Chains A and B, each alone.
Chain A
């Protein structure tokens, strides 16, 4: 609900089409493009009339914005896929680059570090927007971790197909996080946070994981 609260605070009307499910990234990344297309087509229909679509995940955002056009390349619904891609934005991208908002009026006391989800960072090019938003949160001290841009090891089905590699990557990431001395690790991708939370728990570390929207919703 945090994302709804932030958007409404900024004066926007938010709708949530209840029929929506998944963007189709799991089959897409596993090579099952026909199945991914079947799932994606449904979302394309559901969001056809929306003015703007805001997604609280860099990964799902990249799927719609970057990969839908590729998935529907030379497909009868190519134009529709591109239209949805054009009006879809990851949350921080929407706030900073579309609305020009840096300060959403949030207050959150604490020391935090930001983890770049790979899709948000590299597919969508969103290095600065989440940091700019966090820098304007009152009371929040933002510290950079070593190799912030290194993958946390989630990677969708990769995390369960190659759990040993995924876990080792998670451990490296969590060591970088812990070395900052931060109380919170913030990201704009829930799947990265699930991985980081999972590893931190097993390492017995008390650092909390938070989604960017959860921080921005606090006043």
Chain B
């Protein structure tokens, strides 16, 4: 079996030389940067807003037990059924169970990365339920049978032409490059599905402890239909989504829209607090909230990296990450791509199998600089590297760095090495780029600078003794 690291390398090798992909992603993100900056400037004080958001999430995560209890008791008081799922399996089993119990045939689903995390669609389809994604981007990648490319923009990697071709193949529609027409094609399919579906599944952007409500942010109105038309609504919520107060949304909704999509606010922001109450004309008859741990509490126990649970899944760190922009979202092989994915995947799915993502970074820090809740992302990548070495260092790495430390503590050996390199360099071109070239990882694609004829130390000595 191929290791995850090998798959990552192979995919990265393909994408990094794909200039069409590189241009497309750069173009899409250039538009995002302009809008993001425009709306950031509408905040009276963006940096102050980040400080405040970080404080609120710190409070929520560091008192998670209390806030979750409050959230759940408020929800249950209005007749919501709450299930605490320790892992992905339990969450899937519960949701499948609800569907079976109600003899559900068709399920409509709005966007949820947490559902991707537990591979919910696969589990439901295996049980014979039809599941349709109602977010346009998610619907497109569902038709392509591929995972989301980006945690906010699932179909970011596709051109209108590709989407038109896909709709033509799968839905038999006429080819068109007009975005409105493409949307209408998907909408016609979906409208029918909303009416047919007996169960709607959603995620949640925030869970408000004070009022026992979930908050869902969207631009298409699909989540409203998904959650209100079918008889049953199931919301899958990661336990870290909690915010203490309803008024916290006054900060977090515009912040999520600005950082995530370059918008002042998304078109629809809805709070869901329970099933249809007596006297209410609409809403689902049953409302289930599945609270998912899935190793989040292990991350919570790690004081150094706990703040990674502050993440509001805005995707801003992906958008500025030069690694993401060059390898693309699919190379990661994870639910959560980009810097935040590289930080948390080792916690969710095992450090040794996923440490390569923390190594595949120049630690440039653009992610940390942009994160609206101030997660020190690039520092956590560094911590993952250290933890990986601590728990299982490779013999080669250990040997190499022990040798490095040995040499760097003995200037004579260091000077000898640089002198040898200077003697050897004129001959290096004979083997350049070949298998015996010790520098081939560099020289295959880049020239290596010619070493100075004299080292700084030698020049310094000459200067001291005129």
Contacts and interface: CB of A to CB of B under 8 A. Distances in A.
Nearest to A166: B362
B405 interface: yes
A197 B446 CA distance: 8
B389 A32 contact: yes
A21 B388 CA distance: 27
B404 interface: yes
B360 A31 contact: no
Contacts of B253: none
Contact of A118 (B364, B449, B463): B364
Interface in B8-22: 9, 12-13, 16-17, 22
A19 B415 CA distance: 10
A162 B12 contact: yes
A18 B369 CA distance: 37
Contacts of B461: 18
Given A155-B361, A165-B12, A165-B327, A202 B322 contact: no
Given A153-B322, A162-B12, A201-B447, A18 B460 contact: yes
Given A29-B363, A167-B16, A198-B449, A1 B459 contact: yes
A27 B405 contact: yes
Interface string A148-159: 011101111011
A165 B323 contact: yes
Contact of B446 (A16, A22, A161, A202): A202
Interface size class of A (residues with CB under 8 A): 35 or more
- Residue of B13, B388, B397, B441 contacting most chain A CB atoms (<10 Å): B441
A22 B405 CA distance: 9
Interface in A160-181: 160-170, 172
Contact of B404 (A27, A158, A201): A27
Contacts of B325: 172
Contacts of B444: 163
A151 B411 contact: no
Contact of B16 (A18, A21, A122, A165): A165
B187 interface: no
B46 interface: no
Contact of B409 (A21, A26, A153): A21
A32 B401 contact: yes
A169 B322 contact: yes
Nearest to B442: A160
B385 interface: yes
A24 interface: yes
B267 interface: no
Chain B: interface secondary structure? helix
Nearest to B323: A165
B447 A38 contact: no
Nearest to B8: A162
Nearest to B331: A165
A194 B449 contact: yes
Contacts of A170: 446
Contacts of B12: 162, 164-165
A158 B362 contact: yes
Given A163-B441, A167-B445, A172-B322, A151 B408 contact: no
A95 interface: no
A118 B411 contact: no
Interface in B409-466: 409, 411, 414, 441-442, 444-449, 456-457, 459-461, 463
B263 interface: no
B405 A38 contact: yes
B326 interface: yes
- Residue of B369, B407, B444, B446 contacting most chain A CB atoms (<10 Å): B446
Contacts of B326: 165, 168-169, 172
Contacts of B124: none
Contacts of A33: 386, 389
B15 to A, nearest CB: 8
A164 B13 contact: yes
B366 interface: yes
B382 interface: yes
Contact of B363 (A155, A162, A164): A155
B386 A167 contact: no
Nearest to A195: B446
A150 B362 contact: no
B357 to A, nearest CB: 11
A106 interface: no
A42 interface: yes
B17 A32 contact: no
Contact of A31 (B385, B405, B446): B385
Given A27-B401, A118-B362, A39 B17 contact: no
Given A27-B404, A122-B369, A16 B460 contact: yes
A118 B365 contact: yes
Nearest to A42: B409
Given A153-B322, A169-B322, A169-B326, 4 more contacts: A151-B366, A160-B442, A162-B359, A201-B447
23 contacts: A1-B460, A18-B460, A29-B382, A30-B397, A32-B401, A35-B404, A39-B404, A39-B405, A118-B362, A118-B366, A122-B368, A154-B362, A156-B363, A158-B359, A160-B442, A161-B360, A164-B445, A165-B12, A165-B16, A165-B327, A168-B16, A169-B326, A194-B449
